[in-house]
Amino acid sequence: MPYIVTFTSHAARSFRKLPRDVQTRLSPSIESLKEDPRPPGSEKLKGSDNAYRIRVGDYRILYEVRDRELIVCIIETGHRRAVYT
């Protein structure tokens, strides 16, 4: 059963502010989270039970997986220098 991908309001705003070519590169990775919320290369974030990150070049997608509701909630998207602050 596929997961539903949602964005927090902050994540949606930060995604829209990214350059169009970066949005195009990140979109397939975000869409693939519907089928596999923990793809190879994803890493669990320290300090949280269900938060993960995936790398797309120099950009990161931080997200939470809610298995009971079948939801992947994107928390943050951005360049690796700025996404963890």
For domain 4-83, give the fold: YaeB-like fold (3.30.2310)
User: Which residues in the chain show pLDDT less than 70?
Assistant: 85
Give the pLDDT confidence score for residue 44 in this predicted structure.
95
Give the pLDDT confidence score for residue 83 in this predicted structure.
87
Give the pLDDT confidence score for residue 9 in this predicted structure.
97
Give the pLDDT confidence score for residue 48 in this predicted structure.
87
User: Residue 61 and residue 47: Cα distance in Å, rounded?
Assistant: 17
Give the pLDDT confidence score for residue 77 in this predicted structure.
95
Instruction: Map out the domains of the chain as residue ranges.
Output: 4-83
CA distances from 8 to 57, 72, 74 (A): 22, 11, 6
User: pTM of whole model > 0.85?
Assistant: yes
- Whether 52 and 65 have beta carbons less than 8 Å apart is answered as yes
